[in-house]
Amino acid sequence: MSGYKTVEVTEFQTKRMISFIKICGVLQEPNFFGRSYEALTFTFGFLSTFQLLFSIPFYLDEIDSIAMQVYHASLYSATPLSIGCLFFHKYALYCITHHSNLSYDYNSKIMEDIQNKIIREGKTGKIRVFATCMPWMLTIMVSNFIINSFLDKFVMGQKYLQFYDIWYPSFVNKDYLAVELITYFIHISSMLLSGFTIFSATGGAFLVYCQMTSELSLLSRALSHLDARAREISEREGISLQQAYREAFRMCAEHHIRIIGFFVDVGPGIQMIYTLCYFIGLLLLTCTGFAFTFESLTVKIKFAVVSLIQYTFLYGISWCAEEISTQGELVNEATYGIDWLAMPPDVRSSLRILLLFSQRPLQIRMIFGQLVSLDGYMSLVKASYSYFNMMLVATRGEEII
């Protein structure tokens, strides 16, 4: 990408996120081992989901068990759905992971100081915090399930060590310790794989947010300092001020084109990520609501932690999408605030074009056209509660207010 330079300081955190994405089966190398691992994780996630859905008819009289099964089936489905859907958007994923550490080079002392502040103090700090916090959230989620499953068996008197009730073939004896441990290991593996998938989806959305907001902020500053940059170019290159204005604005226009190009390139992948996150999130929040009506204290504690993580996760990706749109509006304001009368006539014409294009909002939408924003997040929360309330009325004949 000409005009861009690699910001090495973000290399480590970006590679760390890529490693998580690869663990969940997405973004594998196009060779035998990469495709084999991708097929293995897809099959494992699919079979875990299928086993849970197949078990539902055997527990129709136990609404608690069904809620737990649907919850985990929704969680486990994240892996096969992500691999299957994102398989057709490999280039978008490549752009997210390989172009998110690039920044435009204005070749200016004025912009170098601003860029270092935006990239090193802003973008890099955010990525570092995210890359540190998300593994901890994943650890807390999985540890929460493991601890509560042990409490269920050894304190609450549950017969088997498990996360949920599940159907077994008639030839499998659940009373054997080996069968119990193998099943429990499969539960943990499925949980970890799903957790890595969710982390990867959040990481992809966050990398796009960091890249878009930092570059849009840099462009806004470049437009605000257009006059100073033109004078700097004039002194350095020994050209007239009119020519320097043209060169300074040309860089801004090229930078804006690169930003829009990145947004378009990652669009199909990020659109699919947000769609899967919202779809799975709606199912998870609905089933989590059912969990709070259970009599088991350990189940309530388990899902209280999970619910907090889910709400934080969905709020975070919704906030990122809205912040990209907000930063896009600042570019329009910076363009409008330029001293137009000091510009050459051809630059004024180009400024009008940039002003027109920057008025178009940079919005992330799901594949069905819904806008991703904080308002959409609140609608999701309300929809999950309404669905939970409706199902509760249908099953128990009472309503929670």
Whether residue 217 lies inside any domain: the answer is yes
- For the beta carbon of residue 21, count every other beta carbon within 10 angstroms: 24
pTM of the model: 0.84
Range with the poorest average pLDDT among 148-162, 236-250, 362-376: 148-162
What's the CA gap between 203 and 313, in Å, rounded? 11
Report the pLDDT value the prediction gives residue 1, as an integer from 0 to 100.
45
Domain count, the chain: 1
What stretch of H or E contains 104?
strand 102-104
Q: What is the predicted pLDDT for the residue at 48?
A: 86
Please provide the average confidence, as pLDDT, over all residues in the chain.
80
Tokens of 377: 């997040």
Residue 368 forms part of a structural domain:
yes
Neighbours of 346 (CB within 10 A): 12
pLDDT number for residue 189: 86
pLDDT for 149 beyond 60: yes
Structural domain contains residue 207? yes
For 122-131, what is the mean pLDDT? 79
Q: Does residue 118 lie in a domain region?
A: yes
- Over residues 11-20, the mean pLDDT reads 67
Distance CA 353, CA 253 (A): 10
Is residue 43 over pLDDT 80? yes
The percent of residues in the chain predicted with pLDDT above 90, rounded, is 1
The answer to whether residue 292 is domain-embedded is yes
Whether 401 is covered by a domain: the verdict is: no
| Mean pLDDT score, 291-318 | 75
What sign results for the dihedral spanned by CA atoms 341, 343, 347, 351? negative
Q: Give whichever of 185-194, 202-211, 255-264 has the largest mean pLDDT.
A: 255-264
376 lies in which domain range? 4-396
Report the number of secondary-structure helices (H) and strands (E) in the chain. 13, 2
Residue 114 covered by a domain? yes
